């Protein structure tokens, strides 16, 4: 196992991951405004993210049953059933994907640079943990375990950076002192020839406008720090779905490319 791991060049995995991630993002940014065919990109992202969730949860369900439930009880059957797990994480993946695809269209240069650093960091971490855990974790579960580990670790850094950008970023141009005008400007600032994309994005833009208006205008009048914290926390939690989504998408692409490169040797 160790010999096989050493044969895979991490530079090849880094370049492959960078190409896939940035190709997906660039195609989406170019096509989302044009036509409904652009929805193939969110569909690909959704399948990738949901598969990574379902794969690990199917592995974990037997342990979950033996650790927490008496076997053959109704609750155990429902919570650990394949159908329930698939539906639950497909729904969660849909929420992640929508938030991610929306956020991608507004990525700034800082975020692009950080994504490159994040991908390199995750690949190096992935290869490192594969070597370290190769004699501890069963071979058939090793790569899944390492994928989940690097996703959790990189969540911390990516979330921290995203929160920094939100807290210190510039205010959107569509904001005014009037809430209705802000919502109207926000929804008119985004469009797509795909009715589905336009409807979802305008709804998300409207929600963001309400939060931004509340943050900029309401917090100026608030004396209690707890209210300001509540508004900021709610806004960050909603937008963190996109961060969790891109991070899991990167982790799954690394995992799939590594398996692909192994099979081609």
Q: Cβ–Cβ contacts within 10 Å for residue 209, how many?
A: 24
Domain span at residue 40 reads 2-153+242-264
**Contact (CB, 8 A) for 204 and 210:** no
Phi then psi for residue 17, to 5 deg, are -65, -45
Q: Cβ–Cβ contacts within 10 Å for residue 92, how many?
A: 16
pLDDT given for residue 44 in this prediction: 95
Is 22 a domain residue? yes
Tokens of 230: 């509540």
| CA–CA distance, 187 with 245 (Å, rounded to integer) | 24
| CA–CA distance, 137 with 130 (Å, rounded to integer) | 9
Is 200 a domain residue? no
Is 203 a domain residue? no
**Contact (CB, 8 A) for 44 and 93:** no
Is 113 a domain residue? yes
What percent of the chain is helix, strand and coil (3-state, nearest 5)? 85, 0, 15
pLDDT given for residue 222 in this prediction: 53
Is 86 a domain residue? yes
Q: Residue 37 gets which letter from DSSP?
A: G
Is 55 a domain residue? yes
Look at the block and give the residue holding tokens 């949901």. Answer: 50
pLDDT given for residue 228 in this prediction: 61
Is 19 a domain residue? yes
Domain count along the chain: 1
Is 167 a domain residue? no
Cα torsion angle, 57, 253, 45, 234, sign: positive
pLDDT given for residue 50 in this prediction: 94
pLDDT along the chain (265 residues), means of 10: 57 93 92 84 94 85 69 69 84 91 84 90 94 86 92 87 70 78 85 85 86 69 58 71 91 93 75
């Amino acid at each position: 196992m160790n010999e096989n791991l050493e044969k895979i060049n991490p530079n090849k995995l880094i370049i492959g991951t960078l190409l896939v991630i940035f190709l997906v993002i660039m195609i989406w940014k170019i096509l989302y405004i044009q036509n409904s065919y652009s929805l193939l990109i969110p569909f690909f992202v959704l399948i990738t993210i949901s598969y990574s969730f379902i794969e690990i949860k199917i592995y974990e369900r037997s342990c979950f049953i033996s650790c927490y439930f008496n076997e053959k009880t109704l609750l155990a059957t429902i919570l650990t059933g394949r159908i329930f797990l698939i539906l639950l994480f497909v729904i969660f993946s849909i929420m992640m994907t929508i938030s991610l695809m929306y956020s991608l269209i507004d990525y700034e240069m800082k975020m692009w640079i950080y994504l490159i650093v994040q991908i390199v960091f995750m690949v190096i971490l992935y290869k490192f943990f594969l070597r370290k855990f190769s004699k501890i974790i069963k071979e058939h579960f090793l790569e899944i375990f390492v994928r989940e580990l690097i996703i959790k670790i990189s969540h911390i850094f990516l979330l921290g950076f995203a929160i920094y950008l939100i807290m210190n970023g510039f205010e959107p141009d569509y904001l005014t002192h009037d809430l209705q005008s802000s919502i109207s400007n926000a929804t008119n600032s985004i469009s797509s020839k795909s009715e589905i994309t336009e409807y979802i994005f305008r709804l998300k833009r409207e929600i963001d406008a309400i939060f931004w208006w509340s943050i900029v205008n309401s917090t100026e009048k608030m004396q209690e720090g707890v209210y300001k914290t509540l508004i900021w926390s709610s806004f960050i939690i909603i937008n963190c779905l996109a961060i969790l989504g891109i991070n899991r998408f990167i982790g799954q692409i690394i995992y799939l490319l590594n398996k692909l490169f192994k099979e081609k040797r």
